[in-house]
Structure 1
Amino acid sequence: MFGSGNKSKAKSAKIETLVGRNTEITGDVTFQGGMHVDGTVRGNVRADGDHCVISVSQHGVIEGDVKVPHIVLDGTVTGDVYSRERLELEAHAKVNGDVYYNLVEMAVGASVNGKMVHKPAERPLLLEKGRSESAGDKPGAARPDSQANRQPGGQQGRFDPGAQHREGKVSGS
């Protein structure tokens, strides 16, 4: 299941919760960190945290929705699957439900009986509006000595790709 090649964050997470092969859980499960399922979970599975991972082995079964940022699936899920970060569908993976993903890796043999919906993660803001690059500058202040900081039309300041053309100049301090 964890073959050689590029190792993702999901494959290197520490497993803190284990559902053994002869174990059956009835009810919703919420976890943090890493979870591995070899048995059966009859209920929804949800993770609290951005770096949480679930791996479901070839023998693992989940009957309910799965909402985890990183998912490595080689077993069966009957329900919808929501992966905010990365979803890996291994060769024995079977999903009977819709799949909502940001990034998906699907091996030959995996199957999805439902819709696959791409939901890209929100892009983090690279520049804060009204903030200068160096910590010592006042908010909104431009550095007049920087050629890279100059904008078309003689304006100085930070490049704001979402901003519309504004009248006036930004003055330095």
Structure 2
Amino acid sequence: MFSKPQTKGASAPIETSQARKLAVASLVAEGVSLRGDFTTEGDLHLDGAVEGDVRVSQLTIGETGVVTGSILADSVEIRGRVAGTICARQVRLWATAHVDGDISHTELAIEAGAHFEGRSLALTPAKPAALEALTVVAAE
């Protein structure tokens, strides 16, 4: 009476939320301050402050976010403030960004209105391999 008719042939199993791993970014909220190095294999959304080095896969710094220290990441988007060096494949400075320090990059985009005081150092094809090695060492 309440049974569902069986279909012939095997269907693909449906993925459950437990079976798939979702990439969820870590969050440092506005008003939160961390002192010391921050390292994760995942992503970080920063609206608070970090005083120390940051090593992540993808870093998003919100308008209220502040990093005082070096950044090593695959991708960095900055809407807030950074005082220190940045080494990443992709770097984007939004109009509200304020960066004091050198940026080593493969791709760099700077919106009108962003403040950048430092050197822009383009990574050559050999240097991304060095960046990869640094990322592996940082993860250990």
Matched, 1:105 2:109: yes
Q: Retained in 2: the 8 A contact 1:90–1:106?
A: yes
> For 2:43 and 2:23, how far apart are their aligned partners in 1?
6
Taking structure 1 as reference, are residues 105 and 42 closer, same or farther at Cα in structure 2, changes over 3 Å only? same
TM-score (norm 1): 0.58
Gaps of 5+ in 2: 1-21, 128-140
Which residue identity does 2:75 align to in structure 1?
Answer: H
Task: Specify the alignment match of 2:18 in structure 1.
Answer: none
RMSD across aligned C-alpha pairs, in angstroms? Answer: 1.9
Which residues of 2 match residues 6-155 of structure 1 at below 5 A?
Answer: 14-47=23-56, 52-83=57-88, 85-122=89-126
2: CA distance between counterparts of 1:61 and 1:107?
A: 19
Q: Which amino acid aligns with 1:75?
A: G
* TM-score for the superposition, normalised by structure 2: 0.71
Higher helix share: 2
Q: Percent identity?
A: 26
Structure number with bigger Rg: 1
The structure carrying a bigger strand percent of its residues is: 2
User: Which amino acid is 2:38 matched to?
Assistant: V
**Alignment size in residue pairs:** 107
SS of aligned partner of 2:25: strand
Moved over 4 A (4+): none
Distance 1:22 1:116, change over 3 A: same
Task: Determine the structure 2 residue equivalent to 1:159.
Answer: none
2:114 and 2:23 map into 1 onto residues whose CA distance is: 25
Query: For 1:56-105, what per-residue CA distance to the aligned partner results, in whole angstroms no more than 9, with x for missing partners?
Result: 0011000000010100111100000111x211111111111111111011
Query: By how many angstroms is 1:38 displaced?
Result: 0.1
- Aligned amino acid, residue 62 of structure 2: S
Classify the secondary structure of the residue corresponding to 2:90: strand
CA distance in 1, matches of 2:113, 2:24: 26
Deviation at residue 17 of structure 1 after TM alignment:
0.8
C-alpha distance in 2, partners of 1:76/1:15?
23
